[in-house]
Structure 1
């Protein structure tokens, strides 16, 4: 049952339909979240996305969804906010952000302002409309945790080497702190999720994401490019599981709390992921070990090892990841083989 604080908040402006705002709703994760939200008959979903990082043909996606309850603006959050007409919203999901180990490189020095400015705008919209806010942060805020193991109870580590990737992580962490403190001094209801290595259909390799790159290389019979020695540890989580975790956090999470959303059972090294992708695709591609800085320049940095403690999400939200790693890979292969853009 909701806490008393939450019940008081939910009692304001009760409406028959649930109006929902999703920033970044045409992105890889955002599009799956939109589909998850529209499962509920009372949902009315409005997407704001400037398409700067979206891998989708958003018009094809909207046609395929074919639901009048989905509306959208192709706008930046800044322009949407400047318009000054909002809601009413009961839920806001904030996903809009630069993204990807390669995708962030072109935004060096500007990431902090972009992420923090947009988050403050979304906080303002949530306060004006009395909406529950779910902020999608990043597992990068742990800085690698304890030899890769990351629990919500762990310290947030800022690594000594300054990089573009660190700017992204620190900007996300600053926004988390601002959200939690705003909850303490206002009526804002906000929760935070930290996803771990989302993968699945619609993910593009353009931002530097590893699984779609491996799959495309396998299907083309090209060598798989593994960075360094491939020993980096990750826990790949199906995008459908992550979308479900986001909704559960928004609706059942505790105010001002953060939740890891990741599948610890899918823990694997990148080298082993390459080998498994070759096996599942029945490819004859070889595996090459390369220096990513030779490909992307000196600003590129690999993430530290990371895999989640997901007990908090499982215990408090009733969240359970359903998809094992082979399913994540097979679903991604099927999408890429079909050549779909939505």
Structure 2
């Protein structure tokens, strides 16, 4: 881990009670997982299970052990789980479009493998913090969205994440396994896989290419963009909370329009790119914003990075400032 990477997580790690643990991070060479590994590796034995299909070996911090393998392989999973105290389950097929194209693959990775992981965790008596998703809510009746609001996912990905969420809570209720599902909203930050076309990445790439930035529809749809560093904070809090068996939204509690996002990207990249509008993507959710009051009250979670600051930092990482 570089000195700069270490510095980024000093303040989070110093407030964390996660130390002297044997920790497994599935998908730990990927986006959120690699940032978690950086935050944990100085004070814990960190093990990473990743097949490197969406992550990279270069993202594994010095001091962490990489088990190269697939979370769907039960023998590999059992070996990676042996002797662990704490699991962060980040491995997933994160592309909504790919889940629509291949629902069985999405189900095997996002739902079925989660059941195998929870079974393995029962044998090890290990706490499991799981990456759920705001996609489980579908088109919300109103915003902000609270954990108890209706859930009607619009894609196989969302359905699979809802199954993961339910399994996590039922494993606590039925077997006493300590589980905490975290429902991520729109996460952004360094190392996000550009192949999955998250809108922040798309806009940065379009700005780098000189534009235009293409906004789908009228651009007045809203999203709650949360920086990966704040997602790490939520995971570390979930690792030590007494409030197990409960789900928590992880966002900022604020939303912006896609138009505003595009304008901010143009500003932070000092770009002269134009912003244009294209057809709306079928099934696109109109409004999304997290109610994070439960995470604030029960976990002590408090987002620390504004969208403008997060985008400015990301522009610098990408060499666009």
What's the TM-score once normalised by structure 2's chain length? 0.88
Deviation at 1:235, TM superposition (A): 1.0
Deviation at 1:322, TM superposition (A): 0.5
Give structure 2 stretches of 5+ with no counterpart. 1-18
Contact 1:201 1:331 in 2 (8 A): no
**Aligned pair partner of 2:69 in 71, 75, 93:** 75
CA distance in 2, matches of 1:103, 1:26: 20
**Aligned pair partner of 1:24 in 24, 27, 32:** 27
| Per-residue deviation, residues 257-309 of structure 1 (Å, max 9, x unmatched) | 000111023x101111101111121111011212366xxxxxx6423421100
Residue 207 of structure 2 corresponds to residue 206 of structure 1: no
Match of 1:98 in 2: 93
Deviation at 1:229, TM superposition (A): 1.6
Residue 278 of structure 2 corresponds to residue 290 of structure 1: yes
What's the TM-score once normalised by structure 1's chain length? 0.82
Residue 176 of structure 2 corresponds to residue 184 of structure 1: no
Match of 1:44 in 2: 45
CA distance in 2, matches of 1:83, 1:143: 31
**Aligned pair partner of 1:281 in 260, 269, 286:** 269
**Aligned pair partner of 1:194 in 171, 174, 183:** 183
**Aligned pair partner of 1:311 in 290, 293, 310:** 293
**Aligned pair partner of 1:88 in 62, 71, 83:** 83
CA distance in 1, matches of 2:186, 2:78: 35
More RCO (CA 8 Å, sep 6+): 1
Contact 2:99 2:156 in 1 (8 A): no
Deviation at 1:167, TM superposition (A): 1.1
CA distance in 1, matches of 2:66, 2:178: 24
**Alignment CA distance shift 1:276-1:83 (3 Å):** closer
CA distance in 1, matches of 2:38, 2:78: 27
Residue 62 of structure 2 corresponds to residue 66 of structure 1: yes
Deviation at 1:187, TM superposition (A): 2.7
Q: Cα RMSD between the aligned structures?
A: 2.1
Deviation at 1:222, TM superposition (A): 1.8
Residue 226 of structure 2 corresponds to residue 232 of structure 1: no
**Alignment CA distance shift 1:231-1:173 (3 Å):** same
| Per-residue deviation, residues 178-228 of structure 1 (Å, max 9, x unmatched) | 221221221311111001100111123320101121112112212101112
Deviation at 1:173, TM superposition (A): 0.8
Correspondences of 1:109-128 after superposition (within 5 Å)? 109-128=104-123
